[in-house]
Structure 1
Amino acid sequence: MPEWRVPVDRHGTRHQCPQQTLRIRHLTAIVEPSPTVRNRSTQGEAVALQHEVITPHRSVQSALRVLETVARHGTGVTATRIARDTGLPLDRLIPLLRMLSSEGYVEQLTDDGTRGAYVTGETLSRIGSTRDHAEALREKLQRTLDGLRDSIGAAVYISRYVDGEVRVTDFAAGPRTPAVNEWVDFRSSAHASAVGKSLLTQLDVNGRRDHLSRHKMARLTSRTITNEQVLLNRLASQPATVPVLDLQEYAVGTVCAAVPITAGSAVGCLALSLPVEHAHRLREAADTLNRGAAPVLLSLAI
């Protein structure tokens, strides 16, 4: 995990010193896209939605540069100075600062003389605590997922490809946003689920073939693809920036979407599920999911 050093007093006078400097190590490398994630221009049949093109890892790289800059100025730093230090234009910086403020990573001072300047926020200060570091990270990630669930109106999931298997590691659901019923183990149904297909698109061809050789492509619904070559062609034609869909391929009555959240060589995705009667919301929900990927990836990267 990266090491953080943060100011303890968020509201009192801040004095810049080495002990109060936030140190972010290797995080830029952490959020670089995996070399197995390729740029693709052909739209596959699996995804027929128009969509917003959003690249979460680039937003996170920029956000980390902003956090480094804010941390170096313990008494506060203006947006203009941040723009100058990071090289980010203000029209890109302001939305980033808005996102970082809403997530609690930075906050604006209101005192006379420093009004409008940005300082390290409470969330980042807590994450920087050695005693509470792991717990704070877990809580922050869960809060981010809960907020995304509420903004989309759908259950959301984080899934990773670990040791050759699909694993759902975190999720947020509720009475009005029920989680999908895992009636078939997700590890055995990557060929049908949005989560599985999103993870498979991030592998190279040999990795995909290896996975499919270990897991039979069973027909789970009438819409499930069971022909290996057809699936491989669909995966190869899937644009990296387009949400992958599951239109009742895993389970009758459920539609899903997933977007990659690539962190270095790790393979992961952020997904949502909706009852089929809400399928008309899938396009809008998938775009909101895509926009929400940057805060989630930032929670994973810190």
Structure 2
Amino acid sequence: MALQHQARAPHDSVQSALRVLEIVARHDSGVTTVELARETRLPATRLAPLLRMLRREEYVTRTAEGTYVAGAALHRLGSARHHDRALREQLRRTLDGLRDSIGAAVYLSRYADGEVRVTDFAAGPGTPAVNEWVDFRSSAHASAIGKSLLTQLDVDARRDHLSRHKMARLTARTITDERVLLHRLAAQPATAPVLDLQEYAVGTVCAAVPITAGSSVGCLALSLPVRHAHRLREAADTLSRRAAPVLLSLAI
């Protein structure tokens, strides 16, 4: 239940953040913390960390007078002409920040046109990306990304996907029985992290958390070398808590 609560928190934070940004955008000359608290009806314990996140992601800027005005990221994403490019750049900065703070490669994925698609990722020398030795589109049954996306579909859509992609045995831990997999997907709490303990690739463990923006089905994931498997659950919890900036970028 604790994991469910943590996974829901980013969605709640995004709704609150959007309220803050709406108010900031209405006050060209700036808005104070007191005014934000009054108009959003958020307690200081909620508002303060939201403002720190919004400043870190450049959605708001604090003036010399102590008021808040729209930041560079909000201006960029608010431009209809350059929105797509601005979104890509904002997501790239956010993913890079997540990679560095969690100490793991991170991935942004979505389920579109009946397929698993990894749309972006951030890795580095000390945080290597998983070796995609089998196309992610055909290995949803084994990867944390795929299973997280499948859990967000209804039963018929899950069965349709599995009918189009053979459940091949990728490692000794891979589930290849469709009934077993469907049972596990049905039992998976919708908002809890999905773990992959060397089911997709020997030597790598992964976790994924759902990020649903509107009707879009997506997830945020991380991978670690198996020697860091002891960090996986803590890293998954951190990823879940830190998913709000990604959701916010997609929502604006």
2:162 to 188, 205, 212: 212
- Report Cα offsets for 1:64-91 as digits up to 9, x if no partner: 1110001111111112211221222222
How many angstroms apart in 2 are the aligned matches of 1:284 and 1:272?
A: 12
Amino acid at match of 2:99: R
1:177 to 105, 127, 133: 127
Partner of residue 222, structure 1: 172
Matched-pair contact (CA < 8 Å) for 2:7–2:209: no
Shift of 1:240: 2.0
Matched-pair contact (CA < 8 Å) for 1:50–1:283: no
Partner of residue 164, structure 1: 114
- Report Cα offsets for 1:169-214 as digits up to 9, x if no partner: 1111111111111111111110000000000000011111111111
1:53 equivalent to 2:22? Answer: no
Shift of 1:51: 7.8
Shift of 1:133: 3.2
Counterpart mapping for 1:1-302 below 5 A: 53-55=6-8, 56-110=10-64, 115-129=65-79, 132-302=82-252
How many angstroms apart in 2 are the aligned matches of 1:160 and 1:271?
A: 11
Shift of 1:270: 0.2
- Report Cα offsets for 1:238-269 as digits up to 9, x if no partner: 11221100000000000000000001111000
Using the size of structure 1 for normalisation, the TM-score is 0.79
Shift of 1:141: 0.9
Matched-pair contact (CA < 8 Å) for 1:262–1:268: yes
Shift of 1:134: 2.8
Matched-pair contact (CA < 8 Å) for 1:51–1:287: no
Amino acid at match of 1:168: V
Shift of 1:221: 0.5
Amino acid at match of 2:48: I
Matched-pair contact (CA < 8 Å) for 1:51–1:283: no
Larger Rg: 1
How many angstroms apart in 2 are the aligned matches of 1:65 and 1:254?
A: 39
Shift of 1:53: 1.8
- Report Cα offsets for 1:206-227 as digits up to 9, x if no partner: 1111111111111110100111
Amino acid at match of 2:148: S
Partner of residue 32, structure 1: none
Q: Quick one: structure 1 residues 300 and 57, their matched pair in 2 at CA, closer, same or farther if it must change by over 3 Å?
A: same
How many angstroms apart in 1 are the aligned matches of 2:177 and 2:47?
A: 46
Matched-pair contact (CA < 8 Å) for 1:260–1:270: yes
Give the structure with the higher percent helix. Answer: 2
Amino acid at match of 2:174: T
Shift of 1:125: 2.2
Using the size of structure 2 for normalisation, the TM-score is 0.95
Amino acid at match of 2:220: L
- Report Cα offsets for 1:3-57 as digits up to 9, x if no partner: xxxxxxxxxxxxxxxxxxxxxxxxxxxxxxxxxxxxxx7xxxxxxx968623222
